[in-house]
Amino acid sequence: MTGEAGLPRPASPVLHVDLDQFLAAVEMLRDPSLVGRPVVVGGRGDPSLRGVVSTASYEARAYGVGSGTPLRVAARKCPDAVFLPVDFAAYEAVSARVFDAIRSLEWGGVPVLVQVLGWDEAFVGLGPDAVAPEPVEEIAARIRARVLEAEQLTCCVGIGDNKLQAKLATGFAKPRPGEPGEGRVEGPGVHRLSDQTWFPVMGARPARALWGIGAKIAQRLAAIDVHTVEDLARADPHRLADAFGPTTGPWLRRLGRGVDPSPVDPTPWVARGHGREETFQDDLTDWADVAAEVARIARRVVADIHAEGRPALRVEIKVRYANFFTLTRSHKLPAPSDDPDLLAAEAVALLERVEQGRPVRLLGVRLEMTAPG
DNA sequence: TCTGGGGTCCTAGGACCC
DNA sequence: TCTGGGGTCCTAGGACCC
Protein backbone atom coordinates (compact mmCIF):
# COMPACT_ATOMS: atom_id res chain seq x y z
CA MET A 1 0.00 0.00 0.00
CA THR A 2 1.39 3.41 -0.85
CA GLY A 3 0.44 6.95 0.08
CA GLU A 4 0.18 9.96 -2.13
CA ALA A 5 3.90 10.46 -2.45
CA GLY A 6 4.56 6.79 -3.04
CA LEU A 7 5.70 6.35 0.56
CA PRO A 8 4.61 3.44 2.71
CA ARG A 9 1.49 4.22 4.66
CA PRO A 10 0.77 3.08 8.20
CA ALA A 11 -1.36 -0.02 7.89
CA SER A 12 -2.66 0.33 11.43
CA PRO A 13 -3.89 3.34 13.35
CA VAL A 14 -1.42 5.83 14.80
CA LEU A 15 -1.54 7.20 18.35
CA HIS A 16 -0.32 10.54 19.61
CA VAL A 17 0.52 10.86 23.31
CA ASP A 18 0.67 14.27 24.96
CA LEU A 19 1.47 14.72 28.65
CA ASP A 20 -0.84 17.09 30.52
CA GLN A 21 0.68 20.43 31.63
CA PHE A 22 4.01 18.64 31.61
CA LEU A 23 6.39 21.14 33.18
CA ALA A 24 3.86 22.14 35.84
CA ALA A 25 3.05 18.48 36.49
CA VAL A 26 6.73 17.65 37.12
CA GLU A 27 6.96 20.55 39.55
CA MET A 28 3.83 19.30 41.35
CA LEU A 29 5.43 15.89 41.76
CA ARG A 30 8.46 17.54 43.38
CA ASP A 31 6.29 19.74 45.57
CA PRO A 32 2.82 18.30 46.16
CA SER A 33 1.71 21.51 47.87
CA LEU A 34 1.48 23.00 44.35
CA VAL A 35 -1.31 20.63 43.32
CA GLY A 36 -4.50 22.54 42.61
CA ARG A 37 -2.76 25.91 42.60
CA PRO A 38 -1.99 28.18 39.65
CA VAL A 39 1.58 27.32 38.69
CA VAL A 40 3.55 29.16 36.01
CA VAL A 41 6.85 27.72 34.76
CA GLY A 42 8.94 30.03 32.65
CA GLY A 43 12.20 31.93 32.29
CA ARG A 44 14.02 32.38 35.54
CA GLY A 45 10.86 32.08 37.57
CA ASP A 46 10.90 35.78 38.39
CA PRO A 47 7.98 37.68 36.85
CA SER A 48 9.83 40.98 37.21
CA LEU A 49 12.42 39.78 34.67
CA ARG A 50 12.22 39.38 30.90
CA GLY A 51 10.81 35.99 29.98
CA VAL A 52 7.69 34.14 28.89
CA VAL A 53 5.58 31.27 30.17
CA SER A 54 6.67 27.80 29.09
CA THR A 55 3.82 25.94 30.78
CA ALA A 56 0.93 27.17 32.91
CA SER A 57 -1.10 24.78 35.05
CA TYR A 58 -4.81 24.49 34.21
CA GLU A 59 -5.56 26.61 37.29
CA ALA A 60 -3.37 29.39 35.86
CA ARG A 61 -4.83 28.97 32.36
CA ALA A 62 -8.24 29.79 33.79
CA TYR A 63 -6.86 33.31 34.33
CA GLY A 64 -5.85 33.60 30.71
CA VAL A 65 -2.20 32.69 31.24
CA GLY A 66 -0.76 30.33 28.64
CA SER A 67 2.41 29.36 26.85
CA GLY A 68 4.11 32.43 25.43
CA THR A 69 2.50 34.91 27.78
CA PRO A 70 5.15 37.36 29.05
CA LEU A 71 5.86 36.63 32.70
CA ARG A 72 5.10 40.23 33.66
CA VAL A 73 1.67 39.90 32.05
CA ALA A 74 1.09 36.55 33.76
CA ALA A 75 1.80 38.12 37.14
CA ARG A 76 -0.75 40.84 36.47
CA LYS A 77 -3.44 38.42 35.29
CA CYS A 78 -2.85 35.91 38.06
CA PRO A 79 -1.09 37.56 41.01
CA ASP A 80 -1.49 34.48 43.21
CA ALA A 81 0.36 32.19 40.82
CA VAL A 82 3.50 30.36 41.90
CA PHE A 83 6.32 31.25 39.48
CA LEU A 84 9.05 28.69 38.91
CA PRO A 85 12.17 28.67 36.69
CA VAL A 86 12.52 26.25 33.81
CA ASP A 87 14.56 23.24 35.00
CA PHE A 88 15.68 21.63 31.74
CA ALA A 89 17.54 18.73 33.30
CA ALA A 90 14.60 17.69 35.48
CA TYR A 91 12.10 17.65 32.61
CA GLU A 92 14.48 15.83 30.29
CA ALA A 93 15.02 13.09 32.85
CA VAL A 94 11.29 12.56 33.50
CA SER A 95 10.53 12.76 29.78
CA ALA A 96 13.08 10.07 28.94
CA ARG A 97 11.61 7.75 31.57
CA VAL A 98 8.07 8.30 30.31
CA PHE A 99 8.96 7.38 26.74
CA ASP A 100 11.01 4.39 27.90
CA ALA A 101 7.93 3.20 29.77
CA ILE A 102 5.83 3.56 26.62
CA ARG A 103 8.47 1.76 24.54
CA SER A 104 8.21 -1.22 26.87
CA LEU A 105 4.63 -1.79 25.74
CA GLU A 106 3.77 -4.41 23.19
CA TRP A 107 0.98 -4.16 20.71
CA GLY A 108 -0.12 -7.47 19.17
CA GLY A 109 3.02 -9.16 20.49
CA VAL A 110 5.35 -6.63 18.86
CA PRO A 111 7.08 -3.69 20.61
CA VAL A 112 5.49 -0.38 19.68
CA LEU A 113 7.38 2.21 17.65
CA VAL A 114 7.79 5.54 19.44
CA GLN A 115 8.65 8.78 17.66
CA VAL A 116 9.40 11.44 20.26
CA LEU A 117 8.50 15.02 19.28
CA GLY A 118 9.66 16.97 22.30
CA TRP A 119 9.63 16.73 26.07
CA ASP A 120 5.96 15.90 26.29
CA GLU A 121 4.79 14.38 23.00
CA ALA A 122 5.27 11.28 20.93
CA PHE A 123 3.67 9.29 18.16
CA VAL A 124 3.16 5.61 18.84
CA GLY A 125 2.60 3.11 16.07
CA LEU A 126 3.27 -0.29 14.66
CA GLY A 127 5.57 -1.24 11.82
CA PRO A 128 4.05 -1.09 8.33
CA ASP A 129 3.40 -4.84 8.13
CA ALA A 130 2.16 -5.46 11.65
CA VAL A 131 -1.51 -5.96 12.32
CA ALA A 132 -2.99 -5.03 15.68
CA PRO A 133 -5.27 -7.72 17.05
CA GLU A 134 -6.96 -5.68 19.75
CA PRO A 135 -8.92 -2.44 19.36
CA VAL A 136 -6.66 0.59 19.27
CA GLU A 137 -8.59 2.15 22.15
CA GLU A 138 -7.22 -0.62 24.36
CA ILE A 139 -3.68 0.39 23.46
CA ALA A 140 -4.52 3.99 24.26
CA ALA A 141 -5.81 2.97 27.68
CA ARG A 142 -2.70 0.88 28.34
CA ILE A 143 -0.44 3.80 27.43
CA ARG A 144 -2.25 6.10 29.84
CA ALA A 145 -2.16 3.49 32.59
CA ARG A 146 1.54 2.80 32.04
CA VAL A 147 2.50 6.48 32.16
CA LEU A 148 0.47 7.00 35.33
CA GLU A 149 1.93 3.90 36.96
CA ALA A 150 5.52 4.62 35.98
CA GLU A 151 5.73 8.37 36.60
CA GLN A 152 2.44 9.47 38.23
CA LEU A 153 1.70 11.66 35.22
CA THR A 154 -1.51 11.96 33.25
CA CYS A 155 -1.60 12.19 29.51
CA CYS A 156 -4.05 12.26 26.64
CA VAL A 157 -4.04 10.10 23.55
CA GLY A 158 -5.23 10.94 20.07
CA ILE A 159 -5.89 8.20 17.55
CA GLY A 160 -5.91 8.64 13.80
CA ASP A 161 -5.44 6.87 10.51
CA ASN A 162 -2.18 8.83 10.24
CA LYS A 163 0.02 11.09 12.35
CA LEU A 164 -1.74 14.30 11.33
CA GLN A 165 -5.11 12.96 12.41
CA ALA A 166 -3.70 11.52 15.64
CA LYS A 167 -2.02 14.81 16.56
CA LEU A 168 -5.21 16.78 16.00
CA ALA A 169 -7.33 14.18 17.79
CA THR A 170 -5.35 14.78 20.99
CA GLY A 171 -6.72 18.30 21.12
CA PHE A 172 -10.22 16.89 21.57
CA ALA A 173 -9.05 14.58 24.36
CA LYS A 174 -7.48 17.27 26.53
CA PRO A 175 -8.72 18.72 29.82
CA ARG A 176 -9.80 22.36 29.72
CA PRO A 177 -9.22 25.12 32.24
CA GLY A 178 -12.31 25.86 34.32
CA GLU A 179 -13.43 29.23 35.61
CA PRO A 180 -10.89 31.30 37.53
CA GLY A 181 -10.46 29.74 40.95
CA GLU A 182 -11.51 26.29 39.80
CA GLY A 183 -9.31 23.41 38.77
CA ARG A 184 -9.26 21.71 35.43
CA VAL A 185 -12.33 20.39 33.67
CA GLU A 186 -11.52 16.85 32.63
CA GLY A 187 -11.72 15.88 28.98
CA PRO A 188 -12.34 12.39 27.61
CA GLY A 189 -8.61 11.55 27.69
CA VAL A 190 -8.79 9.69 24.39
CA HIS A 191 -10.24 10.80 21.07
CA ARG A 192 -10.22 9.25 17.63
CA LEU A 193 -10.23 10.87 14.20
CA SER A 194 -10.31 8.88 10.97
CA ASP A 195 -10.66 9.27 7.24
CA GLN A 196 -14.41 8.81 7.82
CA THR A 197 -14.78 11.49 10.51
CA TRP A 198 -12.25 13.97 9.13
CA PHE A 199 -14.64 16.23 7.27
CA PRO A 200 -17.58 15.99 9.69
CA VAL A 201 -15.28 16.96 12.58
CA MET A 202 -12.66 19.20 10.95
CA GLY A 203 -14.24 20.51 7.74
CA ALA A 204 -15.86 23.63 9.16
CA ARG A 205 -12.97 24.54 11.43
CA PRO A 206 -10.55 27.32 10.45
CA ALA A 207 -7.53 26.23 8.43
CA ARG A 208 -5.44 27.61 11.31
CA ALA A 209 -6.53 24.60 13.37
CA LEU A 210 -4.33 22.36 11.24
CA TRP A 211 -0.89 21.30 12.46
CA GLY A 212 1.55 23.42 10.46
CA ILE A 213 -0.71 26.32 9.54
CA GLY A 214 0.10 29.35 11.63
CA ALA A 215 -1.15 32.91 11.61
CA LYS A 216 0.80 33.97 8.52
CA ILE A 217 -0.17 31.09 6.26
CA ALA A 218 -3.78 31.39 7.44
CA GLN A 219 -3.70 35.03 6.41
CA ARG A 220 -2.28 34.21 2.97
CA LEU A 221 -4.88 31.48 2.54
CA ALA A 222 -7.65 33.89 3.42
CA ALA A 223 -6.37 36.17 0.65
CA ILE A 224 -7.20 33.45 -1.88
CA ASP A 225 -10.55 32.86 -0.14
CA VAL A 226 -9.54 29.72 1.73
CA HIS A 227 -10.86 29.96 5.26
CA THR A 228 -11.84 26.51 6.48
CA VAL A 229 -10.29 23.05 6.35
CA GLU A 230 -12.85 22.10 3.75
CA ASP A 231 -12.01 25.20 1.67
CA LEU A 232 -8.41 24.05 1.71
CA ALA A 233 -9.31 20.51 0.69
CA ARG A 234 -11.33 21.84 -2.24
CA ALA A 235 -8.83 24.50 -3.29
CA ASP A 236 -7.41 24.34 -6.80
CA PRO A 237 -3.99 22.61 -6.48
CA HIS A 238 -2.49 24.86 -9.16
CA ARG A 239 -3.61 27.93 -7.31
CA LEU A 240 -2.04 26.64 -4.08
CA ALA A 241 1.19 25.81 -5.90
CA ASP A 242 1.28 29.26 -7.50
CA ALA A 243 0.74 30.96 -4.16
CA PHE A 244 2.93 28.77 -1.94
CA GLY A 245 5.39 26.97 -4.17
CA PRO A 246 5.74 23.45 -5.56
CA THR A 247 6.41 21.81 -2.18
CA THR A 248 4.30 23.81 0.23
CA GLY A 249 1.26 24.00 -2.06
CA PRO A 250 0.68 20.24 -2.32
CA TRP A 251 1.49 19.83 1.36
CA LEU A 252 -1.24 22.34 2.28
CA ARG A 253 -3.68 20.42 0.14
CA ARG A 254 -2.82 17.19 1.93
CA LEU A 255 -3.33 18.92 5.29
CA GLY A 256 -6.80 20.03 4.25
CA ARG A 257 -7.78 16.52 3.25
CA GLY A 258 -6.37 14.94 6.43
CA VAL A 259 -3.73 13.08 4.44
CA ASP A 260 -0.28 12.39 5.90
CA PRO A 261 1.83 9.64 4.35
CA SER A 262 4.76 10.01 6.78
CA PRO A 263 5.45 6.90 8.87
CA VAL A 264 6.04 6.75 12.61
CA ASP A 265 9.82 6.99 12.60
CA PRO A 266 11.49 5.69 15.79
CA THR A 267 15.00 6.66 14.63
CA PRO A 268 16.69 8.55 17.47
CA TRP A 269 16.86 12.28 16.93
CA VAL A 270 20.07 13.66 15.46
CA ALA A 271 20.40 17.43 15.65
CA ARG A 272 21.62 19.34 12.58
CA GLY A 273 23.06 21.99 14.77
CA HIS A 274 23.01 23.63 18.15
CA GLY A 275 22.53 27.19 19.17
CA ARG A 276 22.13 29.34 22.20
CA GLU A 277 20.59 32.73 22.49
CA GLU A 278 20.19 35.10 25.34
CA THR A 279 17.89 38.01 26.00
CA PHE A 280 19.63 40.48 28.27
CA GLN A 281 17.77 41.93 31.22
CA ASP A 282 19.19 45.31 30.23
CA ASP A 283 19.89 46.14 26.60
CA LEU A 284 23.57 46.21 25.65
CA THR A 285 24.65 49.62 24.43
CA ASP A 286 28.43 49.22 24.38
CA TRP A 287 29.49 47.24 21.33
CA ALA A 288 32.62 46.06 23.04
CA ASP A 289 30.23 44.24 25.37
CA VAL A 290 28.31 42.91 22.37
CA ALA A 291 31.47 41.37 20.92
CA ALA A 292 32.45 39.90 24.29
CA GLU A 293 29.00 38.37 24.77
CA VAL A 294 28.98 36.84 21.28
CA ALA A 295 32.36 35.25 22.00
CA ARG A 296 31.12 33.92 25.34
CA ILE A 297 27.93 32.43 23.85
CA ALA A 298 29.91 30.95 20.95
CA ARG A 299 32.17 29.10 23.37
CA ARG A 300 29.18 27.62 25.13
CA VAL A 301 27.81 26.34 21.83
CA VAL A 302 31.20 24.89 20.94
CA ALA A 303 31.01 22.94 24.21
CA ASP A 304 27.57 21.68 23.13
CA ILE A 305 28.84 20.39 19.80
CA HIS A 306 31.92 18.89 21.44
CA ALA A 307 29.49 16.73 23.39
CA GLU A 308 28.26 15.34 20.07
CA GLY A 309 31.72 14.88 18.63
CA ARG A 310 30.82 16.57 15.34
CA PRO A 311 32.64 19.69 14.09
CA ALA A 312 30.89 22.83 12.88
CA LEU A 313 30.46 23.64 9.19
CA ARG A 314 28.56 26.90 9.44
CA VAL A 315 28.48 29.70 11.99
CA GLU A 316 25.43 31.94 12.38
CA ILE A 317 24.80 34.86 14.69
CA LYS A 318 21.50 36.49 15.55
CA VAL A 319 21.13 40.07 16.69
CA ARG A 320 17.89 41.48 18.02
CA TYR A 321 17.92 45.22 18.57
CA ALA A 322 15.99 46.91 21.35
CA ASN A 323 13.17 47.69 18.92
CA PHE A 324 12.87 43.92 18.28
CA PHE A 325 14.19 44.16 14.73
CA THR A 326 16.06 40.90 14.30
CA LEU A 327 18.63 39.79 11.76
CA THR A 328 20.98 36.88 11.16
CA ARG A 329 24.36 36.60 9.50
CA SER A 330 26.01 33.32 8.66
CA HIS A 331 29.21 32.02 7.15
CA LYS A 332 30.13 28.60 5.83
CA LEU A 333 33.56 27.59 7.04
CA PRO A 334 36.22 26.66 4.49
CA ALA A 335 36.75 23.47 6.50
CA PRO A 336 34.93 21.86 9.47
CA SER A 337 36.24 23.00 12.83
CA ASP A 338 35.67 22.41 16.51
CA ASP A 339 38.26 24.93 17.68
CA PRO A 340 36.71 27.25 20.30
CA ASP A 341 39.07 30.13 19.49
CA LEU A 342 38.47 29.91 15.76
CA LEU A 343 34.68 29.54 16.06
CA ALA A 344 34.38 32.36 18.60
CA ALA A 345 36.43 34.58 16.28
CA GLU A 346 34.19 33.65 13.32
CA ALA A 347 31.10 34.56 15.32
CA VAL A 348 32.54 37.90 16.40
CA ALA A 349 33.67 38.63 12.83
CA LEU A 350 30.05 38.27 11.64
CA LEU A 351 29.20 41.31 13.79
CA GLU A 352 31.06 43.42 11.24
CA ARG A 353 28.22 42.71 8.85
CA VAL A 354 25.45 44.22 11.00
CA GLU A 355 24.66 47.79 11.89
CA GLN A 356 26.51 48.60 15.09
CA GLY A 357 25.86 51.22 17.70
CA ARG A 358 22.16 50.58 18.29
CA PRO A 359 21.17 48.97 21.61
CA VAL A 360 20.91 45.18 21.55
CA ARG A 361 18.35 43.10 23.39
CA LEU A 362 19.30 39.56 22.32
CA LEU A 363 22.34 37.80 20.93
CA GLY A 364 22.50 34.26 19.60
CA VAL A 365 25.06 31.94 18.11
CA ARG A 366 24.26 28.78 16.21
CA LEU A 367 26.61 26.16 14.84
CA GLU A 368 25.58 23.75 12.12
CA MET A 369 27.45 20.49 12.30
CA THR A 370 28.68 18.04 9.72
CA ALA A 371 26.44 15.03 9.15
CA PRO A 372 27.01 12.23 11.66
CA GLY A 373 28.83 9.04 10.83
C1' DT B 1 2.55 44.64 29.53
C1' DC B 2 6.15 43.79 25.72
C1' DT B 3 7.40 40.13 22.90
C1' DG B 4 12.08 33.03 25.62
C1' DG B 5 14.84 29.53 23.78
C1' DG B 6 15.51 25.38 21.22
C1' DG B 7 14.93 23.60 16.90
C1' DT B 8 13.45 22.41 11.59
C1' DC B 9 12.26 23.22 6.88
C1' DC B 10 11.18 26.07 2.85
C1' DT B 11 11.76 29.98 -0.33
C1' DA B 12 14.09 33.21 -2.97
C1' DG B 13 17.79 35.79 -5.01
C1' DG B 14 22.48 36.20 -6.58
C1' DA B 15 26.81 33.97 -7.90
C1' DC B 16 28.83 30.85 -10.66
C1' DC B 17 29.28 27.25 -14.04
C1' DC B 18 28.33 24.72 -18.25
C1' DT C 1 19.32 41.85 -33.62
C1' DC C 2 19.60 40.94 -27.78
C1' DT C 3 21.11 39.05 -24.11
C1' DG C 4 19.63 31.08 -23.27
C1' DG C 5 18.45 28.27 -19.50
C1' DG C 6 19.38 24.72 -16.15
C1' DG C 7 21.75 23.23 -11.96
C1' DT C 8 24.01 24.01 -7.60
C1' DC C 9 25.89 26.56 -3.81
C1' DC C 10 25.58 30.22 -0.50
C1' DT C 11 23.14 33.42 2.27
C1' DA C 12 19.11 35.77 4.54
C1' DG C 13 14.78 35.60 6.04
C1' DG C 14 10.21 33.65 7.03
C1' DA C 15 7.23 30.48 9.19
C1' DC C 16 6.15 27.01 12.23
C1' DC C 17 6.35 23.96 16.31
C1' DC C 18 7.23 22.53 21.24
Same domain for A218 and A130, yes or no, is no
pLDDT on residue A170: 98
CA of A371 to C1' of B18 (A): 29
Is A1 a residue whose pLDDT tops 60? no
Residues A57-73: tens digit of each pLDDT: 999 999 999 999 999 99
| This prediction's pTM | 0.94
Residue A117: half-sphere exposure toward Cβ, Cα within 13 Å: 14
Residues A112-171: tens digit of each pLDDT: 999 999 999 999 998 777 777 789 999 999 999 999 999 999 999 999 999 999 999 999
**Model confidence band, residue A76 (pLDDT cutoffs 50, 70, 90):** very high
Q: Which of A27, A59, A121, A230 is catalytic?
A: A121
In this structure, is residue A97 part of a structural domain? Answer: yes
In this structure, is residue A265 part of a structural domain? Answer: no
CA of A223 to C1' of C4 (A): 36
Same domain for A303 and A236, yes or no, is no
pLDDT on residue A134: 84
The dihedrals phi and psi of A230, each to the nearest 5 degrees, come to -70, -40
Same domain for A154 and A17, yes or no, is yes
Residues A93-114: tens digit of each pLDDT: 999 999 999 999 998 888 999 9
Same domain for A104 and A248, yes or no, is no
Same domain for A105 and A15, yes or no, is yes
Task: State which H helix or E strand residue A303 sits in.
Answer: helix A287-308
Domain with A111 in it = 4-21+89-177+184-192
Same domain for A108 and A29, yes or no, is no
CA of A157 to C1' of B11 (A): 35
Total domain count for chain A? Answer: 4
In this structure, is residue A331 part of a structural domain? Answer: yes
Q: Which nucleotide is nearest to A72 (CA to C1')?
A: B1
pLDDT on residue A129: 73
Weakest mean pLDDT among A33-47, A129-143, A202-216, A256-270? A129-143
Please confirm, yes or no, whether A59 is among the known catalytic residues: no
Same domain for A155 and A96, yes or no, is yes
Same domain for A278 and A354, yes or no, is yes
Same domain for A8 and A117, yes or no, is yes
In this structure, is residue A81 part of a structural domain? Answer: yes
Same domain for A102 and A168, yes or no, is yes
In this structure, is residue A266 part of a structural domain? Answer: no
Please check whether residue A124 is in contact with residue A143, taking contact to mean a CB–CB distance below 8 angstroms.
yes
Contacts of A53 (CB under 8 A, 6+ apart): A40, A41, A42, A65, A66, A67, A68, A69, A70, A71, A74
Domain CATH number, residue A320:
3.30.1490.100
Same domain for A15 and A155, yes or no, is yes
Q: How many CB atoms lie within 10 A of CB A109?
A: 8
Domain CATH number, residue A93:
3.30.70.270
Strand C neighbours (CB under 7 Å) are A 117-121, 167, 210-218, 314, 326-332, 353
